[in-house]
Amino acid sequence: MRLVIQRVSEAAVSIEGVVHGAINHGFMILVGIEPADTSEDIDWLVKKTLNLRIFNDEDGVMNKSILDVKGELLVISQFTLQARTKKGNRPSYINAAGPDLAIPLYEELINKLAQEGNIRVATGKFGANMQVQLINDGPVTILIDSKNKE
């Protein structure tokens, strides 16, 4: 499972011109799920995400977590994070999990982030054509892949 985490001052996702989810200060997280992903990947990613220290402390050093700053999360599914681009110019999405596997894992990730972090989580809609707006604060963007834990 891959996450792209962006520290934002605000973010929103719209579907057909209607805002579906929005947050203020926090993380906008794009989620790419592959067939080999399990609840173990989610557990590791939840812990890593909630404890990731990329917010500034009083000295301007990135030393605070989302929990420390009482931030919010906007979590959006994005199968294109699993794109293979090795051959040709048209990406292959063969590494992306199908909806039967991906939807339950996506929902599990959202639920665990909310419960374990006691944090507000807004979402996009799985499989929808979404428009995402954000103000990346920093900018700070972090890529985390549960298959590269070392």
List the catalytic residues. 80
In contact, 91 and 98? CB cutoff 8 Å = no
State the virtual CA torsion across 64, 52, 104, 86 in degrees, nearest 10.
140
- Cα separation, 5 vs 49, in Å, equals 8
Alpha helices (runs of H) in the chain, residue ranges in sequence order: 39-51, 99-117
In contact, 27 and 6? CB cutoff 8 Å = yes
- Strands 72-77, 26-32: pairing kind: parallel
Which tokens is 66 given?
């989302």
